[in-house]
Structure 1
Protein backbone atom coordinates (compact mmCIF):
# COMPACT_ATOMS: atom_id res chain seq x y z
CA UNK A 1 0.00 0.00 0.00
CA UNK A 2 1.38 3.42 -0.93
CA UNK A 3 2.18 6.08 1.61
CA UNK A 4 -0.44 8.26 -0.01
CA UNK A 5 -3.20 5.68 0.49
CA UNK A 6 -2.17 5.12 4.10
CA UNK A 7 -2.31 8.86 4.77
CA UNK A 8 -5.71 9.05 3.10
CA UNK A 9 -7.15 6.23 5.25
CA UNK A 10 -5.65 7.73 8.42
CA UNK A 11 -7.18 11.08 7.59
CA UNK A 12 -10.56 9.46 6.96
CA UNK A 13 -10.41 7.67 10.34
CA UNK A 14 -9.50 10.91 12.06
CA UNK A 15 -12.39 12.71 10.39
CA UNK A 16 -14.73 9.87 11.47
CA UNK A 17 -13.46 10.07 15.06
CA UNK A 18 -14.00 13.83 15.10
CA UNK A 19 -17.50 13.37 13.72
CA UNK A 20 -18.31 10.75 16.34
CA UNK A 21 -17.07 13.05 19.09
CA UNK A 22 -19.31 15.81 17.75
CA UNK A 23 -22.27 13.45 17.78
CA UNK A 24 -21.54 12.43 21.38
CA UNK A 25 -21.36 16.08 22.39
CA UNK A 26 -24.62 16.84 20.59
CA UNK A 27 -26.35 13.85 22.20
CA UNK A 28 -25.14 14.90 25.65
CA UNK A 29 -26.43 18.43 25.04
CA UNK A 30 -29.78 17.03 23.84
CA UNK A 31 -30.16 14.90 26.97
CA UNK A 32 -29.34 17.87 29.17
CA UNK A 33 -32.02 19.90 27.45
CA UNK A 34 -34.57 17.10 27.83
CA UNK A 35 -33.84 16.77 31.55
CA UNK A 36 -34.01 20.53 31.93
CA UNK A 37 -37.32 20.65 30.10
CA UNK A 38 -38.66 17.85 32.30
CA UNK A 39 -37.73 19.78 35.42
CA UNK A 40 -39.48 22.85 34.06
CA UNK A 41 -42.61 20.76 33.33
CA UNK A 42 -42.63 19.45 36.88
CA UNK A 43 -42.17 22.92 38.28
CA UNK A 44 -44.85 24.21 35.95
CA UNK A 45 -47.21 21.50 37.18
CA UNK A 46 -46.40 22.46 40.76
CA UNK A 47 -47.24 26.04 39.91
CA UNK A 48 -50.57 24.98 38.41
CA UNK A 49 -51.32 22.89 41.49
CA UNK A 50 -50.49 25.89 43.63
CA UNK A 51 -52.93 28.05 41.68
CA UNK A 52 -55.65 25.40 41.95
CA UNK A 53 -55.06 25.08 45.68
CA UNK A 54 -55.23 28.84 46.06
CA UNK A 55 -58.49 28.98 44.13
CA UNK A 56 -59.86 26.10 46.17
CA UNK A 57 -59.34 28.24 49.25
CA UNK A 58 -62.01 30.66 48.06
CA UNK A 59 -65.71 30.15 48.22
CA UNK A 60 -67.91 30.18 45.12
CA UNK A 61 -68.17 33.96 45.07
CA UNK A 62 -64.45 34.36 45.79
CA UNK A 63 -65.15 36.41 48.92
CA UNK A 64 -63.40 35.94 52.23
CA UNK A 65 -66.44 35.90 54.49
CA UNK A 66 -66.65 34.62 58.06
CA UNK A 67 -65.82 31.02 58.93
CA UNK A 68 -69.00 29.54 60.36
CA UNK A 69 -68.53 26.11 61.89
CA UNK A 70 -71.57 23.83 61.98
CA UNK A 71 -73.27 23.15 65.28
CA UNK A 72 -71.36 20.70 67.45
CA UNK A 73 -68.16 20.78 65.39
CA UNK A 74 -65.14 19.93 67.52
CA UNK A 75 -61.36 19.62 67.45
CA UNK A 76 -58.78 22.19 66.39
CA UNK A 77 -60.51 25.22 64.87
CA UNK A 78 -63.80 23.27 65.14
CA UNK A 79 -63.06 21.48 61.85
CA UNK A 80 -64.24 18.00 62.86
CA UNK A 81 -67.82 16.76 62.67
CA UNK A 82 -68.15 14.10 65.39
CA UNK A 83 -70.18 10.93 65.04
CA UNK A 84 -70.38 8.59 68.02
CA UNK A 85 -69.98 8.83 71.74
CA UNK A 86 -67.73 11.45 73.31
CA UNK A 87 -65.01 9.71 75.28
CA UNK A 88 -65.02 6.53 73.20
CA UNK A 89 -61.67 4.76 73.57
CA UNK A 90 -61.18 4.42 69.81
CA UNK A 91 -61.20 7.37 67.43
CA UNK A 92 -61.29 7.26 63.66
CA UNK A 93 -60.36 10.46 61.82
CA UNK A 94 -61.64 10.51 58.26
CA UNK A 95 -60.79 13.10 55.60
CA UNK A 96 -63.32 12.84 52.77
CA UNK A 97 -64.56 14.51 49.60
CA UNK A 98 -68.16 13.85 48.53
CA UNK A 99 -67.11 13.74 44.85
CA UNK A 100 -64.37 11.19 45.53
CA UNK A 101 -65.10 7.65 44.21
CA UNK A 102 -62.55 6.10 46.59
CA UNK A 103 -64.35 7.75 49.50
CA UNK A 104 -67.62 6.25 48.30
CA UNK A 105 -65.93 2.85 48.09
CA UNK A 106 -64.62 3.18 51.65
CA UNK A 107 -68.04 4.20 52.95
CA UNK A 108 -69.82 1.41 51.09
CA UNK A 109 -67.50 -1.30 52.41
CA UNK A 110 -67.02 -0.04 55.97
CA UNK A 111 -70.33 1.67 56.72
CA UNK A 112 -72.09 -1.27 58.43
CA UNK A 113 -69.08 -1.79 60.70
CA UNK A 114 -68.73 1.92 61.45
CA UNK A 115 -72.42 2.21 62.32
CA UNK A 116 -72.25 -0.86 64.54
CA UNK A 117 -69.22 0.38 66.47
CA UNK A 118 -70.39 3.98 66.87
CA UNK A 119 -73.88 2.89 67.94
CA UNK A 120 -72.28 0.62 70.55
CA UNK A 121 -70.30 3.55 71.95
CA UNK A 122 -66.98 1.88 71.13
CA UNK A 123 -65.90 4.18 68.31
CA UNK A 124 -65.98 7.87 67.68
CA UNK A 125 -65.52 9.19 64.13
CA UNK A 126 -64.30 12.68 63.35
CA UNK A 127 -65.15 13.66 59.79
CA UNK A 128 -63.16 16.36 58.02
CA UNK A 129 -64.57 17.57 54.71
CA UNK A 130 -62.37 18.69 51.82
CA UNK A 131 -62.81 19.76 48.19
CA UNK A 132 -59.96 17.96 46.48
CA UNK A 133 -61.88 16.96 43.33
CA UNK A 134 -62.99 20.54 42.74
CA UNK A 135 -59.33 21.46 42.47
CA UNK A 136 -58.39 18.45 40.34
CA UNK A 137 -61.28 18.46 37.87
CA UNK A 138 -62.85 21.89 38.30
CA UNK A 139 -66.33 22.71 39.52
CA UNK A 140 -67.75 23.25 42.98
CA UNK A 141 -69.63 20.03 43.78
CA UNK A 142 -67.24 19.05 46.56
CA UNK A 143 -67.69 22.43 48.22
CA UNK A 144 -71.46 22.56 47.76
CA UNK A 145 -71.97 19.02 49.07
CA UNK A 146 -69.68 19.61 52.05
CA UNK A 147 -71.54 22.80 52.90
CA UNK A 148 -74.86 20.96 52.66
CA UNK A 149 -73.53 18.20 54.94
CA UNK A 150 -72.50 20.89 57.45
CA UNK A 151 -76.02 22.30 57.20
CA UNK A 152 -77.32 18.80 57.97
CA UNK A 153 -75.04 18.78 61.02
CA UNK A 154 -76.79 21.96 62.20
CA UNK A 155 -80.01 19.97 62.09
CA UNK A 156 -78.52 16.96 63.87
CA UNK A 157 -78.78 14.86 60.71
CA UNK A 158 -75.17 14.70 59.53
CA UNK A 159 -74.62 10.94 59.50
CA UNK A 160 -77.84 10.15 57.65
CA UNK A 161 -77.31 12.87 55.05
CA UNK A 162 -73.62 11.98 54.71
CA UNK A 163 -74.66 8.42 53.83
CA UNK A 164 -77.30 9.63 51.37
CA UNK A 165 -74.75 11.77 49.53
CA UNK A 166 -72.42 8.81 49.04
CA UNK A 167 -75.30 6.53 48.05
CA UNK A 168 -76.23 9.04 45.34
CA UNK A 169 -72.74 10.16 44.32
CA UNK A 170 -72.50 11.14 40.63
CA UNK A 171 -69.57 10.14 38.45
CA UNK A 172 -66.36 11.91 39.42
CA UNK A 173 -66.39 13.97 36.21
CA UNK A 174 -70.04 14.96 36.68
CA UNK A 175 -70.26 18.05 38.88
CA UNK A 176 -73.91 17.35 39.73
CA UNK A 177 -73.46 18.21 43.41
CA UNK A 178 -72.76 21.80 42.35
CA UNK A 179 -76.54 22.15 42.01
CA UNK A 180 -78.03 23.23 45.33
CA UNK A 181 -81.45 22.05 44.15
CA UNK A 182 -80.13 18.50 43.85
CA UNK A 183 -78.61 18.64 47.34
CA UNK A 184 -81.92 19.89 48.74
CA UNK A 185 -83.82 17.15 46.88
CA UNK A 186 -81.53 14.52 48.42
CA UNK A 187 -82.32 15.95 51.85
CA UNK A 188 -85.84 14.63 51.28
CA UNK A 189 -84.42 11.14 51.82
CA UNK A 190 -83.58 12.05 55.44
CA UNK A 191 -86.58 12.38 57.71
CA UNK A 192 -87.02 15.91 59.01
CA UNK A 193 -84.04 17.45 57.20
CA UNK A 194 -85.71 19.36 54.36
CA UNK A 195 -86.70 22.48 56.28
CA UNK A 196 -86.60 26.20 55.46
CA UNK A 197 -83.52 26.56 57.70
CA UNK A 198 -81.67 23.79 55.87
CA UNK A 199 -82.60 25.18 52.46
CA UNK A 200 -81.42 28.66 53.41
CA UNK A 201 -78.15 27.27 54.78
CA UNK A 202 -77.49 25.37 51.54
CA UNK A 203 -78.43 28.23 49.23
CA UNK A 204 -76.47 30.84 51.19
CA UNK A 205 -73.32 28.72 51.45
CA UNK A 206 -73.31 29.36 55.18
CA UNK A 207 -70.40 26.98 55.84
CA UNK A 208 -68.44 27.48 52.61
CA UNK A 209 -65.46 29.12 54.28
CA UNK A 210 -65.47 26.51 57.02
CA UNK A 211 -65.09 23.88 54.28
CA UNK A 212 -62.30 25.93 52.71
CA UNK A 213 -60.52 26.13 56.06
CA UNK A 214 -60.85 22.37 56.50
CA UNK A 215 -59.43 21.86 53.00
CA UNK A 216 -56.48 24.08 53.87
CA UNK A 217 -55.86 22.07 57.06
CA UNK A 218 -55.86 18.91 54.93
CA UNK A 219 -52.96 20.25 52.88
CA UNK A 220 -51.15 21.60 55.93
CA UNK A 221 -51.38 18.15 57.51
CA UNK A 222 -49.34 16.72 54.66
CA UNK A 223 -52.20 14.61 53.32
CA UNK A 224 -52.43 14.09 49.58
CA UNK A 225 -55.41 11.86 48.86
CA UNK A 226 -58.89 10.99 50.02
CA UNK A 227 -60.01 9.13 51.91
CA UNK A 228 -57.32 9.54 54.52
CA UNK A 229 -58.24 7.41 57.52
CA UNK A 230 -56.43 7.61 60.86
CA UNK A 231 -57.05 5.24 63.76
CA UNK A 232 -56.07 6.87 67.04
CA UNK A 233 -53.78 9.12 65.00
CA UNK A 234 -52.19 6.39 62.84
CA UNK A 235 -52.83 6.27 59.09
CA UNK A 236 -54.38 2.84 58.50
CA UNK A 237 -56.19 3.05 55.15
CA UNK A 238 -52.93 2.84 53.20
CA UNK A 239 -52.54 -0.67 54.68
CA UNK A 240 -53.69 -2.99 51.90
CA UNK A 241 -54.54 -5.69 54.45
CA UNK A 242 -57.16 -3.57 56.22
CA UNK A 243 -60.67 -5.02 56.23
CA UNK A 244 -63.85 -4.20 58.17
CA UNK A 245 -63.19 -7.26 60.35
CA UNK A 246 -59.63 -6.10 61.08
CA UNK A 247 -60.83 -2.59 61.89
CA UNK A 248 -63.47 -4.02 64.23
CA UNK A 249 -60.82 -6.06 66.03
CA UNK A 250 -58.66 -2.94 66.44
CA UNK A 251 -61.59 -1.09 67.98
CA UNK A 252 -62.48 -4.02 70.23
CA UNK A 253 -58.85 -4.23 71.38
CA UNK A 254 -58.82 -0.52 72.23
CA UNK A 255 -61.93 -1.03 74.35
CA UNK A 256 -60.61 -3.96 76.40
Structure 2
Protein backbone atom coordinates (compact mmCIF):
# COMPACT_ATOMS: atom_id res chain seq x y z
CA UNK A 1 0.00 0.00 0.00
CA UNK A 2 1.44 3.38 -0.96
CA UNK A 3 2.08 6.09 1.59
CA UNK A 4 -0.56 8.25 -0.05
CA UNK A 5 -3.24 5.58 0.35
CA UNK A 6 -2.39 5.13 4.03
CA UNK A 7 -2.71 8.89 4.58
CA UNK A 8 -6.09 8.95 2.85
CA UNK A 9 -7.42 6.11 5.00
CA UNK A 10 -6.06 7.67 8.20
CA UNK A 11 -7.64 10.99 7.37
CA UNK A 12 -10.92 9.27 6.61
CA UNK A 13 -10.86 7.47 9.98
CA UNK A 14 -10.05 10.72 11.77
CA UNK A 15 -12.88 12.53 10.01
CA UNK A 16 -15.25 9.69 10.89
CA UNK A 17 -14.17 9.80 14.54
CA UNK A 18 -14.67 13.57 14.64
CA UNK A 19 -18.12 13.20 13.06
CA UNK A 20 -19.06 10.53 15.62
CA UNK A 21 -18.00 12.85 18.46
CA UNK A 22 -20.09 15.63 16.97
CA UNK A 23 -23.09 13.32 16.76
CA UNK A 24 -22.62 12.23 20.38
CA UNK A 25 -22.40 15.85 21.53
CA UNK A 26 -25.52 16.76 19.54
CA UNK A 27 -27.38 13.80 21.03
CA UNK A 28 -26.41 14.89 24.56
CA UNK A 29 -27.63 18.42 23.88
CA UNK A 30 -30.91 17.08 22.42
CA UNK A 31 -31.51 14.89 25.48
CA UNK A 32 -30.68 17.78 27.82
CA UNK A 33 -33.13 20.03 25.99
CA UNK A 34 -35.85 17.38 26.17
CA UNK A 35 -35.32 16.88 29.91
CA UNK A 36 -35.15 20.62 30.52
CA UNK A 37 -38.32 21.25 28.53
CA UNK A 38 -40.10 18.48 30.41
CA UNK A 39 -39.10 20.00 33.73
CA UNK A 40 -40.31 23.42 32.60
CA UNK A 41 -43.65 21.95 31.46
CA UNK A 42 -44.10 20.14 34.75
CA UNK A 43 -43.28 23.28 36.73
CA UNK A 44 -45.57 25.39 34.54
CA UNK A 45 -48.39 22.89 34.92
CA UNK A 46 -47.88 22.86 38.68
CA UNK A 47 -47.97 26.64 38.73
CA UNK A 48 -51.20 26.74 36.69
CA UNK A 49 -52.81 24.14 38.93
CA UNK A 50 -51.73 26.13 41.97
CA UNK A 51 -53.19 29.36 40.60
CA UNK A 52 -56.45 27.66 39.63
CA UNK A 53 -56.70 26.07 43.04
CA UNK A 54 -56.04 29.39 44.75
CA UNK A 55 -58.58 31.21 42.60
CA UNK A 56 -61.08 28.44 43.08
CA UNK A 57 -60.73 28.83 46.81
CA UNK A 58 -61.21 32.58 46.60
CA UNK A 59 -64.29 32.27 44.42
CA UNK A 60 -65.84 29.68 46.67
CA UNK A 61 -65.29 31.91 49.64
CA UNK A 62 -66.82 34.89 47.88
CA UNK A 63 -69.91 33.33 46.32
CA UNK A 64 -70.47 30.12 48.24
CA UNK A 65 -74.25 29.71 48.44
CA UNK A 66 -74.44 26.17 49.78
CA UNK A 67 -77.04 25.43 52.39
CA UNK A 68 -80.75 26.08 52.80
CA UNK A 69 -82.30 29.35 51.64
CA UNK A 70 -82.86 31.54 54.68
CA UNK A 71 -85.60 34.06 53.98
CA UNK A 72 -85.28 37.47 55.62
CA UNK A 73 -87.70 38.45 58.34
CA UNK A 74 -91.21 39.14 57.03
CA UNK A 75 -90.57 37.82 53.52
CA UNK A 76 -93.77 36.84 51.72
CA UNK A 77 -95.01 35.26 48.52
CA UNK A 78 -94.15 31.91 46.99
CA UNK A 79 -91.16 30.40 48.78
CA UNK A 80 -90.86 33.62 50.81
CA UNK A 81 -88.98 35.38 48.01
CA UNK A 82 -90.59 38.83 48.23
CA UNK A 83 -89.67 41.63 50.63
CA UNK A 84 -92.90 43.57 51.28
CA UNK A 85 -93.05 47.30 51.90
CA UNK A 86 -96.33 49.00 52.77
CA UNK A 87 -99.62 48.06 54.38
CA UNK A 88 -101.21 44.70 53.68
CA UNK A 89 -104.57 46.39 53.14
CA UNK A 90 -103.35 48.45 50.15
CA UNK A 91 -105.43 47.69 47.05
CA UNK A 92 -102.56 48.17 44.61
CA UNK A 93 -99.42 46.05 44.53
CA UNK A 94 -96.23 46.96 42.70
CA UNK A 95 -93.91 44.03 42.04
CA UNK A 96 -90.30 45.05 41.46
CA UNK A 97 -87.53 42.76 40.22
CA UNK A 98 -84.27 44.62 40.70
CA UNK A 99 -80.49 44.35 40.84
CA UNK A 100 -78.51 46.78 42.98
CA UNK A 101 -75.74 46.91 40.33
CA UNK A 102 -78.23 47.74 37.56
CA UNK A 103 -78.03 51.37 36.33
CA UNK A 104 -81.54 51.19 34.83
CA UNK A 105 -82.83 50.19 38.27
CA UNK A 106 -81.10 53.21 39.77
CA UNK A 107 -82.64 55.47 37.11
CA UNK A 108 -86.10 54.05 37.85
CA UNK A 109 -85.56 54.64 41.55
CA UNK A 110 -84.43 58.22 41.03
CA UNK A 111 -87.54 59.03 38.98
CA UNK A 112 -90.25 57.05 40.78
CA UNK A 113 -89.07 56.81 44.39
CA UNK A 114 -90.81 59.97 45.71
CA UNK A 115 -94.13 58.88 44.18
CA UNK A 116 -93.78 55.30 45.43
CA UNK A 117 -92.94 56.48 48.95
CA UNK A 118 -95.91 58.87 48.88
CA UNK A 119 -98.35 56.15 47.82
CA UNK A 120 -96.93 53.65 50.31
CA UNK A 121 -97.14 56.16 53.17
CA UNK A 122 -100.75 56.91 52.20
CA UNK A 123 -101.62 53.22 52.48
CA UNK A 124 -102.59 53.05 48.80
CA UNK A 125 -99.68 50.98 47.49
CA UNK A 126 -97.79 47.90 48.62
CA UNK A 127 -94.45 47.07 46.99
CA UNK A 128 -92.96 43.59 46.77
CA UNK A 129 -89.25 43.62 46.05
CA UNK A 130 -87.52 40.65 44.44
CA UNK A 131 -83.72 40.78 44.40
CA UNK A 132 -81.77 39.27 41.50
CA UNK A 133 -78.17 38.95 40.33
CA UNK A 134 -78.44 39.73 36.62
CA UNK A 135 -75.34 41.94 36.40
CA UNK A 136 -73.18 39.40 38.20
CA UNK A 137 -74.19 36.91 35.53
CA UNK A 138 -73.59 39.32 32.65
CA UNK A 139 -70.39 41.03 33.77
CA UNK A 140 -69.00 38.70 36.42
CA UNK A 141 -68.30 39.55 40.03
CA UNK A 142 -70.54 39.19 43.07
CA UNK A 143 -71.71 42.73 43.87
CA UNK A 144 -75.33 41.97 43.00
CA UNK A 145 -75.33 38.97 45.33
CA UNK A 146 -73.49 40.68 48.15
CA UNK A 147 -75.68 43.81 48.03
CA UNK A 148 -78.87 41.75 47.88
CA UNK A 149 -77.76 39.72 50.90
CA UNK A 150 -76.97 42.94 52.78
CA UNK A 151 -80.40 44.35 51.87
CA UNK A 152 -82.00 41.17 53.21
CA UNK A 153 -79.96 41.62 56.39
CA UNK A 154 -81.34 45.16 56.62
CA UNK A 155 -84.83 43.68 56.30
CA UNK A 156 -84.05 41.51 59.33
CA UNK A 157 -83.29 44.72 61.20
CA UNK A 158 -86.47 46.46 59.99
CA UNK A 159 -84.41 48.90 57.89
CA UNK A 160 -84.89 47.58 54.36
CA UNK A 161 -86.41 50.66 52.74
CA UNK A 162 -83.80 53.04 54.14
CA UNK A 163 -80.87 50.81 53.22
CA UNK A 164 -82.40 50.00 49.82
CA UNK A 165 -82.43 53.71 49.03
CA UNK A 166 -78.87 54.22 50.32
CA UNK A 167 -77.56 51.45 48.05
CA UNK A 168 -79.03 53.12 44.97
CA UNK A 169 -77.84 56.56 46.07
CA UNK A 170 -74.31 55.16 46.28
CA UNK A 171 -74.43 52.76 43.35
CA UNK A 172 -71.04 52.34 41.62
CA UNK A 173 -70.74 52.28 37.85
CA UNK A 174 -72.00 49.06 36.31
CA UNK A 175 -68.53 47.68 35.59
CA UNK A 176 -67.23 48.55 39.07
CA UNK A 177 -67.94 45.59 41.34
CA UNK A 178 -67.56 47.72 44.50
CA UNK A 179 -70.56 46.11 46.20
CA UNK A 180 -68.65 42.81 46.24
CA UNK A 181 -66.80 44.21 49.26
CA UNK A 182 -68.73 43.49 52.45
CA UNK A 183 -66.80 46.28 54.19
CA UNK A 184 -68.26 48.76 51.69
CA UNK A 185 -71.79 47.51 52.34
CA UNK A 186 -71.27 47.79 56.09
CA UNK A 187 -69.85 51.28 55.65
CA UNK A 188 -73.01 52.32 53.77
CA UNK A 189 -75.12 50.87 56.60
CA UNK A 190 -73.69 53.68 58.71
CA UNK A 191 -75.89 56.05 56.72
CA UNK A 192 -79.01 54.36 58.16
CA UNK A 193 -79.70 55.11 61.82
CA UNK A 194 -79.37 52.02 63.97
CA UNK A 195 -78.49 49.58 61.19
CA UNK A 196 -74.74 49.11 61.69
CA UNK A 197 -74.92 46.59 64.54
CA UNK A 198 -72.97 43.41 65.33
CA UNK A 199 -75.98 41.36 64.17
CA UNK A 200 -76.11 43.17 60.82
CA UNK A 201 -72.35 42.83 60.31
CA UNK A 202 -72.46 39.13 61.05
CA UNK A 203 -75.36 38.63 58.66
CA UNK A 204 -73.49 40.44 55.89
CA UNK A 205 -70.13 38.75 56.46
CA UNK A 206 -71.67 35.28 56.86
CA UNK A 207 -73.76 35.62 53.70
CA UNK A 208 -76.78 34.52 55.70
CA UNK A 209 -79.22 35.09 52.85
CA UNK A 210 -76.99 34.19 49.90
CA UNK A 211 -78.88 31.01 49.03
CA UNK A 212 -82.15 32.90 49.31
CA UNK A 213 -80.88 35.48 46.79
CA UNK A 214 -79.83 32.70 44.43
CA UNK A 215 -83.30 31.16 44.75
CA UNK A 216 -84.89 34.53 44.00
CA UNK A 217 -82.74 34.90 40.90
CA UNK A 218 -83.76 31.41 39.76
CA UNK A 219 -87.42 32.39 40.16
CA UNK A 220 -86.71 35.47 38.02
CA UNK A 221 -85.37 33.24 35.25
CA UNK A 222 -88.10 30.63 35.61
CA UNK A 223 -90.73 33.36 35.23
CA UNK A 224 -89.29 34.14 31.80
CA UNK A 225 -87.97 37.54 32.87
CA UNK A 226 -84.79 38.82 31.23
CA UNK A 227 -84.16 42.41 32.29
CA UNK A 228 -84.09 44.66 35.31
CA UNK A 229 -85.94 46.50 36.46
CA UNK A 230 -89.12 44.61 35.73
CA UNK A 231 -91.89 46.59 37.41
CA UNK A 232 -95.39 45.16 37.43
CA UNK A 233 -98.54 46.96 38.52
CA UNK A 234 -100.86 44.01 38.68
CA UNK A 235 -100.00 42.21 35.44
CA UNK A 236 -98.88 45.33 33.56
CA UNK A 237 -95.16 45.99 33.10
CA UNK A 238 -95.13 49.72 33.67
CA UNK A 239 -91.39 50.01 33.07
CA UNK A 240 -91.91 48.75 29.52
CA UNK A 241 -94.66 51.35 28.97
CA UNK A 242 -92.96 54.31 27.27
CA UNK A 243 -95.90 56.57 28.17
CA UNK A 244 -95.62 55.86 31.90
CA UNK A 245 -94.68 58.69 34.26
CA UNK A 246 -94.72 59.06 38.04
CA UNK A 247 -97.86 61.16 37.72
CA UNK A 248 -99.58 58.50 35.60
CA UNK A 249 -98.57 55.80 38.07
CA UNK A 250 -100.09 57.86 40.87
CA UNK A 251 -103.33 58.25 38.90
CA UNK A 252 -103.55 54.51 38.24
CA UNK A 253 -103.01 53.63 41.89
CA UNK A 254 -105.46 56.24 43.15
CA UNK A 255 -108.08 55.09 40.65
CA UNK A 256 -107.63 51.47 41.73
CA UNK A 257 -108.03 52.45 45.38
CA UNK A 258 -111.26 54.32 44.63
CA UNK A 259 -112.83 51.43 42.74
Q: Any idea what SS the aligned residue of 1:159 has?
A: helix
**Structure 1 alignment gaps of length 5 or more:** 1-57
**Deviating more after overlay: 239-248 vs 58-67:** 58-67
Check 1:224–1:63 CA distance in 2 against 1; reply closer, same or farther (3 A cut). Answer: closer
Q: Report deviation, 1:66.
A: 1.2
Structure label with greater radius of gyration? 2
CA distance in 1, matches of 2:94, 2:62: 30
Segments ≥4 residues shifted beyond 2 Å: 58-64
Q: Any idea what SS the aligned residue of 2:69 has?
A: coil
Check 1:62–1:184 CA distance in 2 against 1; reply closer, same or farther (3 A cut). Answer: closer
- Alpha-carbon RMSD across the aligned residues, in angstroms, is 1.2
CA distance in 1, matches of 2:166, 2:179: 12
Match of 2:143 in 1: 141
Match of 1:207 in 2: 209
CA distance in 2, matches of 1:59, 1:225: 28
The answer to whether the 8 Å contact 2:63/2:142 transfers is no
Q: Any idea what SS the aligned residue of 2:239 has?
A: coil
CA distance in 2, matches of 1:59, 1:207: 15
Query: Under a length normalisation based on structure 2, what TM-score does the superposition of the two structures give?
Result: 0.75
CA distance in 1, matches of 2:193, 2:141: 29
The answer to whether the 8 Å contact 1:59/1:209 transfers is no
Check 1:66–1:60 CA distance in 2 against 1; reply closer, same or farther (3 A cut). Answer: farther
| Among candidates 168, 171, 176, match of residue 170 of structure 2 | 168
The answer to whether the 8 Å contact 2:65/2:211 transfers is no
| Among candidates 77, 80, 105, match of residue 79 of structure 2 | 77
Check 1:63–1:167 CA distance in 2 against 1; reply closer, same or farther (3 A cut). Answer: closer
The answer to whether the 8 Å contact 1:59/1:208 transfers is no
Match of 1:193 in 2: 195
Q: Deviations over 1:11-59 (max 9, x none)?
A: xxxxxxxxxxxxxxxxxxxxxxxxxxxxxxxxxxxxxxxxxxxxxxx99
CA distance in 1, matches of 2:63, 2:167: 24
CA distance in 1, matches of 2:65, 2:174: 26
Query: Under a length normalisation based on structure 1, what TM-score does the superposition of the two structures give?
Result: 0.76
**Structure 1 residue 112 corresponds to structure 2 residue 111:** no
CA distance in 2, matches of 1:107, 1:61: 27
Check 1:158–1:73 CA distance in 2 against 1; reply closer, same or farther (3 A cut). Answer: same
Q: Report deviation, 1:237.
A: 1.0
CA distance in 2, matches of 1:62, 1:164: 26
| Among candidates 91, 94, 117, match of residue 92 of structure 1 | 94
The answer to whether the 8 Å contact 2:167/2:188 transfers is yes
Check 1:246–1:59 CA distance in 2 against 1; reply closer, same or farther (3 A cut). Answer: farther
CA distance in 1, matches of 2:65, 2:202: 19
CA distance in 2, matches of 1:92, 1:222: 18
Pairing of 1:12-161 with structure 2 (within 5 A): 60-161=62-163
**Structure 2 alignment gaps of length 5 or more:** 1-59
